[in-house]
Amino acid sequence: MNFPAALSDAARSVAAHLESALSALPESRIRAAMAHALVGGKGLRGYLVLESAALHGVDRAVALDAAAAIEAMHAYSLVHDDLPAMDDDDLRRGRPTVHIAFDEATAILAGDALQSLAFDLVARTGSVALVRGLAQAAGAQGMVLGQALDIAAETAETPLTLEDIIHLQQGKTGALFQWSCTVGPVLAGHDATALAAYADALGLAFQVADDILDHEGDAETAGKRLQKDAEAGKATFVSLLGLEPARQRAHDLIVAACDALTPYGDRADSLREAARFVISRDK
């Protein structure tokens, strides 16, 4: 099975698992908003969980709980990021954002509920370490901290430096990638060093690639994004490095990610394909 097919297959499995979890909740406007937030996306984080788990012989049923948990956590972060108080976006994955499709209060509560669902799902794995790791990755030393730094940068007197942006993205994007990639060794009680190094490089490459995509999108979309960043005084990898050096940085990070998988040999080829996908995707 080639990588796009494998990614789609994993996304379908995780989506079905999430649908089952949602169906156990009382029918409500909140549940409908949660379901709306979970539609679409490539499911890369869930895929990384499943592959990391398979690499370490973890039962797939257990891995699916963890994969669904990270996708629920990611969806919660997007719902809140899209709110008027943050990025104020009207569209997400080609559809109205939750606060547009429903309302702001429902979006806030749906995000809260998705976060709670994430912890419910990961708790089913029976791993306290995995639950604690997700709390740390998603909270005030990980994703939430990264988002706070991103918001603060918009009103800072001086733009962020390259080192500042790397630190910000290690929290905002990288923390959930690292959790996803290390689920396997954590559940199996194995050393997570190699997969942690892979995740560090992968998460940063993902964000560099995002900045490149923002720059290279259709003229209208790219122009609006760049104007918005400029007005906010927001520095990006492309604005600081330049387009071609940013491409090279992303490429070098993917090489580093693939090299980190050397201890696993050919068994980690699916993760190498995932890394290459990160800088070849078109959105």
What digits encode the pLDDT tens for the residues 149-203?
A: 998 988 888 888 999 999 999 999 999 999 999 999 999 999 999 999 999 999 9
> How many whole angstroms separate alpha carbon 123 and alpha carbon 213?
36
What is the CB-side half-sphere exposure of residue 191 using CA atoms within 13 A? 6
> How many whole angstroms separate alpha carbon 202 and alpha carbon 253?
7
pLDDT surpassing 50 at residue 256: yes
112: amino acid identity, one letter: D
Could you tell me the two tokens for 108? Answer: 């806030």
Q: Is 147 helix (H, G, I), strand (E, B) or coil?
A: helix
Which pLDDT score, from 0 to 100, does residue 216 have? 78
- Bridge partners, 170 (sequence order): none
206: amino acid identity, one letter: F
Which pLDDT score, from 0 to 100, does residue 156 have? 85
33 versus 220: which is more confidently predicted?
33
Which pLDDT score, from 0 to 100, does residue 219 have? 47
Which pLDDT score, from 0 to 100, does residue 222 have? 46
Residue 92 near residue 111, CB atoms below 8 Å: no
pLDDT surpassing 60 at residue 228: no
pLDDT surpassing 70 at residue 218: no
- Bridge partners, 91 (sequence order): 96
Q: What mean pLDDT, rounded, does the chain reach? A: 93
Structural domains in the chain, CATH included, are 3-278 (1.10.600.10)
> How many whole angstroms separate alpha carbon 265 and alpha carbon 252?
20
What is the phi/psi pair of residue 92, to 5°?
Answer: -145, 125
What is the phi/psi pair of residue 95, to 5°?
Answer: -130, 160
Task: Give 25's contacts (C-beta < 8 A, 6+ positions apart).
Answer: 31, 34
